[in-house]
Amino acid sequence: MTAAYVPVFDALHLQSAAHDVMLATHAPAWLIEQRQQARVQQLLQAARGSALYRERMDGDTPALERMAPVRRAELMARFDEWVTDPALRLDELRAFTADASRAGQPWLGRYVVWESSGTSGMPGIFVQDARAMAVYDAIEATRHRPPARAMPLPFDPFGALNLLGAADRHALVTATGGHFASVVSFERLRAINPWVAASSRSFCVMQPVDELVAQLNRFQPTVLATYPTAAALLADEAEAGRLRIRPRCVMMGGETLSRAVRERVARVFGAAVRASYGTSEFLPIAWECAHGHLHVNADWVLLEPVDEQHRPVPAGERSHTVLLTNLANRVQPLIRYDLGDRITWHGEGCACGSRLPVIEVEGRSDDVMRVPARRAGEQVSLLPLALCTVLEEEGGVFDFQLRQQGPNTLVLRLPGSDAAAAAAVERCRLALQDFAQRQGAEPIRVLGELGCAVPRGRSGKACRVALDAAA
């Protein structure tokens, strides 16, 4: 994409944010907490510019923990009252994002706009100004980056961006047909920095695999960024000898990264693997250090692991969901926003030296598959991550869809149709039945369907576990 526009970018904001982020990365926990709380108060004050939040505050600015959680549907239904700039209108933004060719272009000359994939309901529209983007840029370049690269100078306003393309060829494999956060951010960086533009390219994951492979073979990326499901597919192509690239690092996000996929991708490509956790609501929530731990960017985002009643969940226990407060975006305040993700909070302390909190991410709470339990009248919940782990580690399959068909029947769809695929179905059937039994479920049936392409959503993410609405 050749940009004929001025992207949303402020060098002074980036310089300040990059310096701040670098200092906080290895700061003591008390200092991170201090910065977080100061930014919470600034956000609450800014949120009074939102009619929706003024209504919720009802007078004096309350303590954050007393504010009721919010969901996407509620906020999107009142979008024009939610934002703090009255010039932002949902109908106009929907029209803007309907044109995929404008991904990365500014809105009203001062805003970056992206949309969520809509995998968990109505697609959201998210707007960020130059200050918020400077924070995201600084975090991505300073913390979520390929290993073994020199840090930018603290007072170099372009250092963080130069770092992204200084000596590597970056390939982003994603769905390129929409204003998704990864696409918008990528194209914006290419428009800002000519070095990034010359050494980076996006590739559409929705195109035929042979075409994608041919394009990557020609480009020869040294850093590959994509979803775990797409990385597993590319590993299959590399193992078959069709994909001939040797990236030094594979960076994955957008989906939960299992141990089996991580090990397979690392082995096949001979590359370092780095994971991240981010959403459309806050692009860089957590980054993976060299010791394999996900560190929350707690200086700029507040996460609250909670149970079904939105009560705090102690460290070491899996949450029902997590509430997110974005401390960088004051144009579109997100305060105690229910993400729907299950996480386990492990607190501070890591051999890498960072005091930023460590978490595990275990998938969405609303994607849980439920089957009848051996106890009459009860159900057993099967997490998508657990099911995928069983299929990958015990069944040896990585490209699949598991669909629930009725209360106790699962259908496993694989793209292959040969004897090896049939054998894989049998391995997976036994593994899934054993797993469900150990969870306390009634005996389940597992049917196989061969020669089926794994469906992908608008954002390019594979639909690996599909629920039966009637189950």
pLDDT in the model for residue 150: 45
pTM: 0.81
pLDDT in the model for residue 153: 42
| pLDDT digit string, tens, across residues 175-186 | 887 898 999 999
Residues 6+ apart with CB under 8 A from 38: none
Residue 71 scores a pLDDT above 60? yes
Residue 126 scores a pLDDT above 50? yes
Residue 272 scores a pLDDT above 80? yes
Cα separation values, 195 from 39, 93, 166, 184, 249, Å: 33, 30, 7, 18, 19
Q: Average of pLDDT values for 115-140? A: 86
Percentage of the chain exceeding pLDDT 90: 62
Residue 26 in contact with residue 355, Cβ under 8 Å?
A: yes
Q: Average of pLDDT values for 452-471? A: 69
Domains contained in the chain, CATH given:
11-365 (3.40.50.12780), 368-466 (3.30.300)
Q: Which tokens in the block code for residue 228? A: 């775990």
Q: Average of pLDDT values for 380-395? A: 78
Q: Could you tell me how many residues make up the chain?
A: 471
Q: Average of pLDDT values for 92-118? A: 91
pLDDT in the model for residue 471: 43
Residue 454 scores a pLDDT above 60? yes
Provide the pLDDT confidence category of residue 157 given band limits of 50, 70 and 90: very low
Q: Average of pLDDT values for 429-454? A: 90
Provide the pLDDT confidence category of residue 367 given band limits of 50, 70 and 90: low
**Comparison of pLDDT for 368 and 100, the residue scoring more:** 100
- Number of Cβ within 10 Å of residue 309's Cβ equals 6
> In this structure, what are the phi and psi dihedrals at residue 447, rounded to the nearest 5 degrees?
-105, 150
Rounded distance between C-alpha atoms, residue 253 and residue 172, angstroms: 11
Provide the pLDDT confidence category of residue 69 given band limits of 50, 70 and 90: very high
Characterize 80-115 residue by residue with b for buried, 16 or more Cβ atoms within 10 angstroms of its Cβ, and e for exposed.
eebbbbeebeeeebeebbeeeebbbbbbeeebbbbb
| pLDDT digit string, tens, across residues 200-240 | 999 988 788 889 999 999 999 999 999 888 898 899 899 99
Residue 243 scores a pLDDT above 70? yes
Mean pLDDT in the chain?
Answer: 88
pLDDT in the model for residue 35: 96
Percentage of the chain exceeding pLDDT 70: 89
Q: Which tokens in the block code for residue 229? A: 């499901």
Q: Which tokens in the block code for residue 2? A: 């050749």
pLDDT in the model for residue 279: 92
Residues paired with residue 252 on neighbouring β-strands, in sequence order: 226, 275
CA-angle at 83, arms to 82 and 84, nearest 5°:
120
Rounded distance between C-alpha atoms, residue 384 and residue 361, angstroms: 12
Minimum mean pLDDT range among 154-168, 290-304, 368-382: 154-168
Q: Which tokens in the block code for residue 190? A: 């290419």
